[in-house]
Amino acid sequence: MTSKKNPVSRKKNKKDSVVSESVTEPVTATVSTPLIQESAIKPEESPAPETVGIKRPGALFLVALVLGWLFDFLFWEQAVGINFPIFLTLCLLGGLYWLLSIGLRPAKKSLWLVAPFLLFAAVTFLRREPLTIFLAFTFTLLSIGLFATSYLGGRWILYGLLDYCYKFLLFAVDMIARPVQFVLQVRKDQASSNTLGKNSPIWGLLRGFVIALPIVLCFASLLASADLVFNQKLDEFFEDISENTKRLILIVVCAYFLIGVFLHSAARSEDKTLIGENKPFIKSFLGFTESAVILGSVSVLFLLFVIVQFQYFFGGENNIGVAGFTYSQYARRGFNELVIVAFFSLVMILGLSALTRRESELQKRIYSGLSVVLVVLVMIILVSAFQRIALGISWHGYSRLRLYPRIFLIWLGLLFITVVVLEIFRQERFFAFAALLASFGFAISLFLTNIDAAIIQRNLYRGWHGKNLNVPHLASLSDDAIPLLATEYLYGEMPTSTRQGIGAALACYRYFADLPHSSTYDWRSFNWSSWQAQRSLEVVRPYLAGYVIRYNQWPVRVRTPHGELYECELRTTVEED
């Protein structure tokens, strides 16, 4: 087949070779993609998207099926561990292999997403603390999802909040719908090229199997009734068939979704236009005066609140009693409300910035000034919230519910500062990118802090200085806490009562680790933190012979060699330790 070529099309880059131009390919499947043939199109016209060819559909099917089998191999009857990063890394490599083989190279900025993907993927098997690994799983999937949806364009840095919603909605739809379209097109192309016609022996084999199946099942049931041994063997065979069928379905479903992901990257990842890039998604309709009044009123309210709070920044705990509150009441009261105030202040600033008309340079400067004043006041409110957390820590020690917000407030404050800078330089579109970086920073901070180990270190220090040691709290943490507990128990210098409390916590961990279980977990479920915890418990086991576990009633309790009795599970609030 010949056609006239436009001179422009001769200058096409090799990466656009996804358009079917080679007659040596036996099968070419077509999908809807923004990569278009430019023949017979005038340079000044804007061509509409059309259906073009995707090369090597067989390779796509093969890669997806291999990855589906690997998913079954790595996760069937296994806990999530090192198998998670291994599988996603293989998916990344398999997708890159197919995309590169058809001439589609990733944008350089898209490759930046590989770094957070690898980092968070590693965290998933290095820690056991719940929030840390939850965010690690979330951001691992988010990073590889962003890579897939911006593979060719690389403009994920410019994504706004609406772009994230639209892109991932389109991504989910393509995962479900695009493989069906692709398979139908493959069958259509095969039929048109007569590679699998009606007279093919494959169709005869399929028809024969369909006819033979009920006949074989009928004879098998009769033979099973005639012989008990054959019946037992047949039952075992069908049990294996049942499990294998489930696993086969799992493989096919996984391959199906992966085909959708790879096709999405090939066809929908150019990011030619973003929402609100050329014109605002919602036209500004709010006048400058109205917005200035809103910002000014809220700023006055926040200023009054800051004046009331200001004495506590310098007076500390002495002024708390004067105000009529106990130390613990002040530390608890209002923290959540202050964070909510900060959050809605951020939403208000961003919303007004998008909806307010600023027609002159003076109005733009006044609006930016009011935004800066409001952000400064919000920052002081965040300092007040941080102060409340610090008071709670100084009185009760560390806990997860105190460390989480302490780290979160730091990154929230940095995000507010970034919002002010973006407002001053008229670069509001980068807010979503700034929020993404702040979220990444918060998750990385949790990993580097090692929350449960930090709780152990801080609270043991307090116990060494005569403060109350909450043993049930120490015994209710994740595997991240056990190595440090074992080290302190064996080598730390501390009062005998503190050492006995640590031993009680370790005895609780040892008891739960020794409970019989029928799991068949192997290297695929490996987690570095759990492995370190297991080694530490084995090292300390001989020294815990004097600790007696009472497991005949709930909650499980442990008695120390000195006769003190501790619970192995935390039932009271962390504030009452």
Residue 218: the pLDDT is 78
**Closest Cα partner for 270 from 168, 156, 114?**
156
> Which of 109-113, 293-297, 330-334 bottoms out in mean pLDDT, i.e. has the lowest?
330-334
**Closest Cα partner for 124 from 116, 113, 135, 114?**
135
Average pLDDT of span 447-451? 96
Average pLDDT of span 553-560? 88
User: Burial, 114: exposed, middle or buried (Cβ in 10 Å; 0-12, 13-18, 19+)?
Assistant: middle
Query: How far is it, in rounded angstroms, from Cα 109 to Cα 89?
Result: 19
Query: How far is it, in rounded angstroms, from Cα 408 to Cα 248?
Result: 44
* Beta carbons of 525 and 81 less than 8 angstroms apart: yes
Residue 313: the pLDDT is 55
Which range has the top average pLDDT, 131-140, 241-250, 291-300?
131-140
User: Burial, 2: exposed, middle or buried (Cβ in 10 Å; 0-12, 13-18, 19+)?
Assistant: exposed
Domain boundaries, the chain: 201-252, 288-447, 452-576
As given in the structure block, the two tokens for residue 565 are: 């009795």
Comparing 401 with 331, which gets the higher pLDDT?
401
Which phi and psi (to 5°) does residue 361 adopt? -65, -35
CA angle 557, 563, 567 (to 5 degrees): 20
One-letter amino acid at 545 equals A
pLDDT of 454-509, one tens digit each? 999 999 988 888 788 899 999 999 999 999 999 999 987 888 888 999 999 999 99
Residue 210: the pLDDT is 67
**Closest Cα partner for 432 from 285, 272, 274, 270?**
274
pLDDT of 221-273, one tens digit each? 777 777 777 777 777 776 667 778 888 889 989 999 999 999 999 999 998 88
* Beta carbons of 478 and 128 less than 8 angstroms apart: yes
**Cα 381 to chain centroid, rounded:** 30
Share of the chain above pLDDT 70, in %: 80
> Which of 45-59, 393-407, 540-554 bottoms out in mean pLDDT, i.e. has the lowest?
45-59
113 confidence band (pLDDT: 50, 70, 90): very high
10 confidence band (pLDDT: 50, 70, 90): very low
6 confidence band (pLDDT: 50, 70, 90): very low
Residue with tokens 């009606």: 198
pLDDT at 180 over 90: no
Please count the residues of the chain: 577
pLDDT of 17-35, one tens digit each? 433 333 334 444 444 444 3
As given in the structure block, the two tokens for residue 543 are: 């020294």
> Which of 1-15, 102-116, 351-365, 493-507 bottoms out in mean pLDDT, i.e. has the lowest?
1-15
Residue 31: the pLDDT is 45
SS3 162: helix
One-letter amino acid at 107 equals A
Helices and strands, counts by H and E, the chain: 21, 5
Residue 286: the pLDDT is 82
Query: How far is it, in rounded angstroms, from Cα 433 to Cα 109?
Result: 13
Residue 272: the pLDDT is 86
Query: How far is it, in rounded angstroms, from Cα 139 to Cα 93?
Result: 19
pLDDT at 308 over 90: no
Share of the chain above pLDDT 90, in %: 44
pLDDT at 193 over 70: no
H or E segment to which residue 53 belongs: strand 50-54
Q: What is the mean pLDDT of the chain?
A: 81
Comparing 536 with 360, which gets the higher pLDDT?
536
Which phi and psi (to 5°) does residue 558 adopt? -130, 135
Query: How far is it, in rounded angstroms, from Cα 41 to Cα 12?
Result: 14
As given in the structure block, the two tokens for residue 264 are: 């999405």
Average pLDDT of span 174-179? 91
